[in-house]
Amino acid sequence: MLLVCAANVCRSPLMEYVLSQAAIQAEADPAWSVISRGLEVTRAESLCAIVSELVATTERGRSFAAEHRPVLLEGDLLDGQDLIISASGRERSAIARLRPDLRDRSFTLKEAVRLGRGQFNDEEMLRAAERAPGPTGLATYAAALHERRGRVDFGRPRPTFRRSVPQLDPIDIPDVHDQKRRVHLRTLKEVQAVAGDLGLQLSGFLGGSGISRRRGH
């Protein structure tokens, strides 16, 4: 699974940490693997300080914070990714421009969680199994999410009262790295919570609590 944000300093590394923790705790066998990247070159050489604070509750989190270095996304890394999760539609659109063929396995974090609510029915799983590019559970999960596109209401954009971003799409978690600490912390806690939701959904799907296991995927 590939996780993408603007600079690989805040949102995508936090998603990486939360989802890698979920993979360790999951009953799924095998669990998923996670990497994160950024779309832009940045001067930052380490993890965002607020993310470091959020993950510092465990020894593994402290090690992750100390070792993380922002890495630029290179196009060839997209090959072989069963599921691509971006922080916002901006990153998702950039990936689609690079690789239009990956649209059906690329989602924003909030989009993936909203599409993944509720058990997939037999018809959805049958179509997902036919569409999935490979036999892995993640590939099937991405295909199942894609089957629900166009049939889920995400709500309307909401005003932000910021001139640079007058409205926020309900499937986006915006880049607020340069905003006030209060705004930054609130946004990163949202990333943490929504990524945790995705981890639970993946655990249930890959661990066999849903139709996927009964169909042998």
Instruction: Write out pLDDT tens, residues 89-136.
Output: 999 999 999 999 999 999 999 999 999 999 999 999 999 999 887 767
Question: What are the φ and ψ backbone dihedral angles of 104, each rounded to 5 degrees?
Answer: -80, 0
Q: Do 106 and 1 meet the contact criterion of CB atoms below 8 Å apart?
A: no
Structure tokens at 186: 């609130």
Contact 152, 120 (CB under 8 A): no
Query: Residue 163: pLDDT above 70?
Result: no
To the question of pTM greater than 0.85 for the whole model, the response is yes
The pLDDT-based confidence of 211 (bands split at 50, 70, 90) is very low
Query: Letter for the amino acid at 46?
Result: S
User: Residue 138: what pLDDT?
Assistant: 93
The pLDDT confidence band at residue 162, using thresholds 50, 70 and 90, is low
pLDDT (tens digit, 9 = 90+) per residue, 60-94?
A: 999 999 999 999 999 999 998 999 999 999 999 99
Q: Identify the bridge partners of residue 158 per DSSP, sorted by sequence position.
A: 168
Separation CA 49–CA 73 (nearest Å): 22
Domains of the chain: 2-214 (3.40.50.2300)
What are the backbone angles phi and psi of residue 171, rounded to the nearest 5°? Answer: -95, 5
Quote the pLDDT of residue 47.
95
What proportion of the chain, given as a percentage, has pLDDT over 70? 88
| Radius of gyration for the alpha carbons in the chain, expressed in angstroms and rounded | 17
Q: Provide the β-strand partners of residue 4.
A: 37, 86
- Find out whether the peptide bond into 159 is cis, omega within 30 degrees of 0: no
Q: Where are the beta strands (DSSP E) in the chain?
A: 2-5, 35-38, 84-86, 106-108, 158-159, 167-168
Closest CA to 88 of 195, 172, 188, 193: 172
Instruction: Check whether 213 has a pLDDT greater than 80.
Output: no
Peptide bond just before 30 cis, omega within 30 deg: yes
Q: Give tens-digit pLDDT for 3-45.
A: 999 999 999 999 999 999 999 988 766 679 999 999 997 777 8
| CA–CA gap between residue 80 and residue 68 (Å, rounded) | 23
In this prediction, residue 172 has a pLDDT band, given cuts at 50, 70 and 90, of very high
| pLDDT reported for residue 167 | 64
What pLDDT does residue 156 have?
75
